[in-house]
C-alpha cells in the first residue's frame, strides 16, 4: 500500500497601501523701514511708503493640490510708543517726541490697526498650487506713512521708533490644504483651517528734525509819517517776527540799506536829497542794529512759534531837505 501525502501551501499576498502624505503650511513676513528722512516743521515731510512682504510654503502632497491661506498683519505702538494709543503713533529723540502714523490707504485716512481680529483687522488671502514636491505663494502690501502736521514746536534731533516684537509687528495666519482640488477658505486668520501660526516683521520708523528758521516771516515797514522841519528826534517802531525751530539759537541782522553813507543809513527822494535815520535793538535807542554776527545783531532762541522782535527807529535832528517822499530798503537776514 502506497501512502500519499497532500501538502498544503498557503500563499500570502501582501498589498501595502501608503497613507496619504500630510502637508504642513508655514508663513513668514518682512517689512522695509519707514524712513521719512530729514526736514523741518516749516517745510514738512512728504508722505512715504514701506512694503510688507509675505510668503507661505506648503510641504508636498500625494496629488496635485491647492492651499488657501488667510493672513492678518497688526502694527502696534512700537517700543517708543505711548501706552496703547496708535492715534497718533510717535517717534522719540531723548525726551522729545514727533508724532506720525501708519495707514492702510494712500489717502492716509485709515490708520493701520493694532488688531488681528474684529472688523478693523487687515486681512489678505493667498492661494497657490501645491504639486507633489510642495509649493509656495507670496505677496506684498503697502504701508503708508505720514508725519502729522503742524508740529512747529518739535525739537531738532534724530527720531525713531522700533517695531521689533510680536506685539508691535504681528502676523497671524490660518491655512487649508486639499489633496485634490481646492479647499474652502479658513474662517479668518485666527480661526478655521488645518494649520495656523504667527510671525513678526520687525521694522524701524525714523525721521530727522533739522534746525531751521521759516523762510517766510513777517516784517513791518518802518514809517516816520509826514513831518515838517526835522528839528527833534522822530521815533517809531516796527516788528520783525522770525519763526525758528524750538531751542534753535538765531540772530537777526539788518544791513545798512541801499543809500548808506559809510555806516549811516539814509532815505533818498530819488533826486539827490537824503534824510538820515538809524535802527536800534533797544527802546533807549543806544544799541545800533547791524549785520555783524555776535556783535550788533539781535540774538534769541526759537520756540517753534513766530517771535515778535521790535525794531526801534529814529531820525535825529538834521538840516531839512526839500519836500518829497523819502525811502530806503533794508535787508533782514535770519542766521541760525
Q: How far apart (Å, rounded) are the C-alpha atoms in residues 218 and 216?
A: 7
> Looking at residue 1, what is its pLDDT?
37
Q: How many CB atoms lie within 10 A of CB 149?
A: 10
Q: How far apart (Å, rounded) are the C-alpha atoms in residues 80 and 53?
A: 24
> Looking at residue 91, what is its pLDDT?
97
Second CATH level (architecture) for the domain 218-335? Sandwich (2.60)
| DSSP string for residues in 158-208 | EEEEEE-STTTEEEEEEEEEESSB-PPPPSSSSSSSSEEEEEE--EEEEEE
Q: How far apart (Å, rounded) are the C-alpha atoms in residues 168 and 109?
A: 21
Are 335 and 253 spatial neighbours (Cβ–Cβ below 8 Å)? yes
Write the pLDDT tens digit of every residue in 70-114: 999 999 999 998 877 899 999 999 999 999 999 999 999 999 999
> Looking at residue 23, what is its pLDDT?
62
Cell output for 164: 521689533
Among 25-34, 58-67, 186-195, 323-332, whose mean pLDDT is lowest? Answer: 58-67
The more confident residue out of 327 and 81 is: 327
pLDDT > 90 fraction of the chain, expressed in percent and rounded: 82
- The mean pLDDT value for 13-30 works out to 61
Are 47 and 144 spatial neighbours (Cβ–Cβ below 8 Å)? yes
> Looking at residue 39, what is its pLDDT?
97
Q: Is the pLDDT of residue 135 over 60?
A: yes
Q: How far apart (Å, rounded) are the C-alpha atoms in residues 224 and 144?
A: 54
> What is the chain's alpha carbon radius of gyration, rounded to the nearest angstrom?
38
Q: Is the pLDDT of residue 11 over 80?
A: no
Write the pLDDT tens digit of every residue in 168-197: 999 999 999 877 778 999 999 999 999 999
Where in the chain do CATH 2.60.40.1090 domains reside?
218-335
What CATH class is the domain 25-209? Answer: mainly beta
Q: Is the pLDDT of residue 157 over 80?
A: yes
Q: How many CB atoms lie within 10 A of CB 6?
A: 4
Q: How far apart (Å, rounded) are the C-alpha atoms in residues 128 and 25?
A: 12
Cell output for 84: 496703547
* pLDDT winner (highest mean) among 6-20, 70-84, 249-263: 249-263
Cell output for 123: 486681512
Q: How far apart (Å, rounded) are the C-alpha atoms in residues 140 and 25?
A: 18
Which phi and psi angles does 136 have, rounded to 5°?
A: -150, 160
Burial 288-297 (b: 16+ CB within 10 A, else e): ebbbeeeebb
Write the pLDDT tens digit of every residue in 261-280: 999 999 999 999 999 999 99
pLDDT > 70 fraction of the chain, expressed in percent and rounded: 92
> Looking at residue 12, what is its pLDDT?
31
> Looking at residue 63, what is its pLDDT?
62
Instruction: Report the mean per-residue pLDDT for the chain.
Output: 91
Q: Is the pLDDT of residue 53 over 70?
A: yes
Are 82 and 93 spatial neighbours (Cβ–Cβ below 8 Å)? no
Burial 164-197 (b: 16+ CB within 10 A, else e): eeebbbbbbbbbbbbbeeebebbebbbeebbbbb
Question: Which residues does residue 144 pair with via DSSP β-bridges, in sequence order?
Answer: 49, 103
Q: Which residues contact 24 (CB under 8 A, 6 or more apart)?
A: 58, 59, 195
The more confident residue out of 129 and 268 is: 268
* pTM, entire model: 0.84
> Looking at residue 180, what is its pLDDT?
77
Amino acid at each position: 500500500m502506497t501512502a500519499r501525502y497532500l501538502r498544503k501551501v498557503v500563499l500570502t499576498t501582501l498589498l501595502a497601501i501608503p497613507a496619504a502624505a500630510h502637508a504642513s503650511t508655514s508663513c513668514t513676513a518682512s517689512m522695509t523701514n519707514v524712513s521719512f528722512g530729514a526736514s523741518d516743521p516749516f517745510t514738512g515731510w512728504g508722505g512715504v511708503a514701506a512694503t510688507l512682504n509675505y510668503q507661505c510654503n506648503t510641504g508636498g502632497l500625494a496629488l496635485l493640490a491647492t492651499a488657501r491661506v488667510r493672513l492678518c498683519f497688526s502694527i502696534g505702538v512700537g517700543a517708543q510708543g505711548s501706552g496703547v494709543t496708535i492715534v497718533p503713533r510717535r517717534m522719540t529723540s531723548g525726551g522729545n517726541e514727533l508724532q506720525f502714523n501708519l495707514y492702510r490707504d494712500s489717502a492716509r485716512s485709515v490708520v493701520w490697526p493694532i488688531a488681528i481680529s474684529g472688523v478693523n483687522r487687515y486681512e489678505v488671502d493667498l492661494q497657490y498650487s501645491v504639486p507633489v514636491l510642495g509649493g509656495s505663494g507670496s505677496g506684498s502690501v503697502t504701508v503708508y506713512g505720514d508725519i502729522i502736521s503742524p508740529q512747529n514746536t518739535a525739537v531738532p534731533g534724530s527720531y525713531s521708533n522700533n517695531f521689533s516684537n510680536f506685539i508691535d509687528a504681528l502676523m497671524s495666519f490660518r491655512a487649508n490644504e486639499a489633496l485634490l482640488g481646492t479647499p474652502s477658505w479658513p474662517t479668518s486668520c485666527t480661526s478655521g483651517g488645518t494649520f495656523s501660526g504667527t510671525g513678526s516683521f520687525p521694522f524701524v520708523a525714523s525721521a530727522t528734525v533739522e534746525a531751521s528758521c521759516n523762510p517766510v516771516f513777517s516784517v513791518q515797514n518802518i514809517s516816520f509819517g509826514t513831518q515838517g522841519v526835522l528839528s527833534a528826534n522822530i521815533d517809531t517802531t516796527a516788528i520783525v517776527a522770525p519763526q525758528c525751530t524750538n531751542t534753535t539759537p538765531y540772530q537777526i541782522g539788518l544791513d545798512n540799506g541801499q543809500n548808506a553813507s559809510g555806516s549811516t543809513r539814509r532815505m533818498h527822494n530819488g533826486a539827490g536829497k537824503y534824510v538820515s535815520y538809524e535802527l536800534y535793538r533797544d527802546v533807549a535807542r543806544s544799541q545800533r542794529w547791524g549785520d555783524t554776527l555776535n556783535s550788533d545783531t539781535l540774538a534769541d532762541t526759537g520756540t517753534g512759534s513766530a517771535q515778535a522782535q521790535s525794531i526801534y527807529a529814529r531820525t535825529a535832528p538834521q538840516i531839512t531837505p526839500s519836500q518829497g517822499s523819502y525811502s530806503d530798503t533794508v535787508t533782514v537776514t535770519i542766521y541760525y
